Structure 1
Amino acid sequence: MNATTPRALHVALATVSDRHTPSSDETGDWLADAIVDAGHHRYQRQIIGTDKYLLRAVVSRWIAEPNLNVVLLNGGTGFAEHNCVPEAIVPLLDQVIDGFGELFRQRSWQEIGSSALQSRALAGLANNTLIFAIPGSRSAAELAWCEIIEPQLDSGQGPCNFVGRLLGKHG
């Protein structure tokens, strides 16, 4: 396989919400389809309540999975009292990808102005598994996926992408 051959990754998807159900999770549905449309495998999908210890436990299990490359979390990243994704995820990270949150907020600024300040979107690596935590609104998820995440999960994206690093874990 040469460097230009697209490489499919295994992606786990979770919506972090106390109010959504499988039938009301529009953002999760969109992301699930986007993962497959990009040529990746949807490894697992679930809805997790805003309990930081439960969320941390689920993500810990996922990052220990030898065949999982990416964890994508949507929801729970704002400043509402019940939002807990950064508090749940940051202790698990081996490396923080500072540029992701910075770039997401910069791109959000162009759409929602100073409200972008309240986004706590983040990304990092844990056990060589890439973790993205993005807002739960569909427009924010589309922006994050289309402009930042999908290109970085594309093995043909230059000058660099995360695919080589992620597949180093699994071959």
Structure 2
Amino acid sequence: MSRIDESKDFIPVRIAILTVSDTRSLAEDRSGDTLVQRLEADGHILADRKIIRDERAEIAAQLRAWCADPGIDVVISTGGTGLTGRDVTVEAHRDVYEKEIDAFGTVFTILSMEKIGTSAVQSRATGGVANGTYLFALPGSTGACKDAWDGILGKQFDYRHRPCNFVEIMPRLDEHLRRK
């Protein structure tokens, strides 16, 4: 069963938050605020934060820029994961991924089902890796951001989490880029 190994030291992770919205400003970004509050309360570092329009090419460009930044370990986006025509965040993420973390969407859906029932099928939360950086796309609701952080990401970004966690494999995420 999962647990925290108190004999290990906590290692803070540098996380960038991207809110995808055609209408929100930083002052109105409750979902972004929720993620920032949670990551900082858990001891992680807010590496950057932006709001960007729901435009696939712009989202992918920002993800790529952050993946190229050695000061960013993780990018979490919020918004644009639904089913409407303007919801293109998932497609932008998949344009950038080298590997998709398939189980992230599945586990997120299971958590969502406990809170919102079958409405969880309308979310397309996703996760992946590119250029040694973790990328996650969450729905734009504060509840979804809380559920994703509290139920999955907060644990996986704690190096002390057992039996395994995302932090311990971070140094190996880009090993294929270093091969000769």
**TM-score between the two structures when normalised by the length of structure 2:** 0.90
The equivalent position to 1:99 in structure 2, one of 103, 106, 113, is 103
Aligned residue number for residue 15 of structure 1:
19
Contact 1:128/1:165, CA 8 A, preserved across alignment? no
Q: 2-side partners of 1:30 and 1:107: how far apart?
A: 18
**TM-score between the two structures when normalised by the length of structure 1:** 0.94
Identity of aligned residues (%): 36
Contact 1:69/1:167, CA 8 A, preserved across alignment? no
Superposed displacement of residue 67, structure 1: 2.1
Aligned residue number for residue 36 of structure 1:
40
Residue 145 of structure 1 pairs with residue 112 of structure 2? no
Structure 2 counterpart SS, 1:13: strand
Report the RMSD for the aligned CA atoms in angstroms.
1.6
Q: Which amino acid aligns with 1:54?
A: E
Q: 1-side partners of 2:115 and 2:137: how far apart?
A: 19
Q: Which amino acid aligns with 1:9?
A: V
Any stretches of 5+ residues in structure 2 without a counterpart? 1-6, 175-180
Residue 51 of structure 1 pairs with residue 58 of structure 2? no
Superposed displacement of residue 167, structure 1: 4.1
Instruction: Call closer, same or farther: CA 1:6–1:84 in 2, change over 3 Å.
Output: same
Superposed displacement of residue 41, structure 1: 0.7
Structure 1 counterpart SS, 2:147: helix
Aligned residue number for residue 156 of structure 1:
160
